[in-house]
Amino acid sequence: MNYKIKCRKDKLIRCLSISMPFRLPQTTHSHIIGVCKHFYAVQS
């Protein structure tokens, strides 16, 4: 994973964290991370 993609992923996750008024359950958070990883893998 190159730096540019990592930076974009981190920014997306930060945006999701800020927009959520409550902490996500760990399973839901892990699912979102998995979807993000899949999305960026397809993009690259």
DSSP character string of 5-31: HHHHHHHHHHHHHHH-SSPPPHHHHHH
Q: What's the N-to-C CA distance of the chain in angstroms?
A: 9
Listed by start position, the domains of the chain span 3-43
List, for residues 1-44, the tens digit of each pLDDT value: 566 767 677 777 776 776 665 565 667 778 777 887 888 788 76
**The pLDDT of residue 37:** 83
Return the pLDDT at 27.
74
The Cα–Cα gap between 35 and 9 comes to 11
**Per-residue model confidence (pLDDT) at position 10:** 79
pLDDT of residue 1: 57
Whole-structure pTM value? 0.35
